[in-house]
């Protein structure tokens, strides 16, 4: 039975699932660190900045959905296997539309190896921001950014440790 032939109906409420991408960018000979954000073109949080992301399709794996949303909203293509799973965010009221669980992925990238970001799909704009000058973020994306920065520093520090 194909995915189109299946009928989905449940007697209990269930959450929607999204994926988000946190891209941390650096440039050679530049000590600054950047984060890629998109400006939302729709409500909720229209005109606020957020991480590229969106709802997972019924027939795709989470890393595929994350890579697809990244490409649709920023025109930046990263292979799904190069995105690392950061965390799953499950706060009950994190999205005003409905109960949404987000699987967040991250990657550290050399910005000069990527095409310039360009807003697409439901993203009005896409832009790199200095990590020390991030605008107000939609949803719980400030919490996600702080979590990502702690995780990246932790991963970096653990690579330096000798046991």
Token pair of 45, please? Answer: 């949080």
Q: What are phi and psi of 80, to 5 degrees?
A: -55, -35
What does the pLDDT average to over 39-58? 96
pLDDT at 130 > cutoff 90: yes
What does the pLDDT average to over 17-35? 95
Give 66-95 pLDDT, tens digit per residue.
999 999 999 999 999 999 999 999 999 999
What does the pLDDT average to over 133-156? 90
What does the pLDDT average to over 90-111? 95
Percent of the chain surpassing pLDDT 90:
83
Token pair of 132, please? Answer: 């020390």
Q: What pLDDT is stored for residue 10 in this prediction?
A: 76
Spacing of C-alpha 147 from chain mean position: 13
What does the pLDDT average to over 122-140? 96
pTM of the model: 0.87
Of the ranges 38-52, 85-99, 104-118, 144-158, which one carries the lowest mean pLDDT score? 144-158
Q: What angle do CA 84, 64, 35 make, to 5 degrees?
A: 50
Distance in angstroms (rounded) separating the CA atoms of residues 40 and 26: 24
Distance in angstroms (rounded) separating the CA atoms of residues 108 and 14: 33
Mean pLDDT of the chain: 90
Q: In the chain, what are the domain boundaries?
A: 16-160
In Å, how far are 4, 65, 92, 152 from 95, measured between CA atoms?
Answer: 28, 18, 8, 25
Residue 23 · residue 35 · CB < 8 Å: yes
Fold of 16-160: Nucleoside Triphosphate Pyrophosphohydrolase (3.90.79)
pLDDT at 141 > cutoff 50: yes
Confidence of residue 14 (pLDDT cuts 50, 70, 90): confident
pLDDT at 50 > cutoff 60: yes
Q: What pLDDT is stored for residue 151 in this prediction?
A: 87
Q: Closest by alpha carbon to 94, among 139, 158, 141?
A: 139
**Which residues does residue 130 pair with via DSSP β-bridges, in sequence order?**
34
pLDDT at 156 > cutoff 80: no
Dihedral sign of CA atoms 58, 59, 61, 64 in order: negative
Q: What angle do CA 118, 120, 124 make, to 5 degrees?
A: 85
């Amino acid at each position: 039975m194909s995915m189109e032939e299946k009928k989905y109906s449940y007697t209990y409420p269930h959450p929607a699932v999204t994926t988000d991408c946190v891209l941390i960018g650096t440039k050679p000979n530049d000590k600054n660190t950047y984060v890629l954000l998109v400006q939302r073109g729709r409500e909720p949080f229209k005109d606020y900045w957020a991480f590229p992301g969106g709802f997972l399709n019924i027939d795709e794996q989470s890393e595929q959905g994350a890579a697809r949303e990244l490409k649709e909203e920023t025109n930046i293509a990263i292979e799904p296997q190069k995105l690392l799973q950061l965390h799953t965010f499950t706060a009950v009221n994190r999205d005003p539309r409905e109960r949404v669980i987000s699987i967040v992925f991250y990657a550290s990238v050399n910005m000069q190896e990527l095409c310039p970001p360009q807003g697409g799909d439901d993203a009005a704009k896409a832009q790199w921001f200095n990590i020390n000058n991030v605008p107000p973020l939609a949803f719980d994306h400030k919490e996600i950014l702080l979590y990502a920065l702690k995780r990246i520093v932790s991963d970096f520090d653990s690579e330096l440790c000798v046991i």
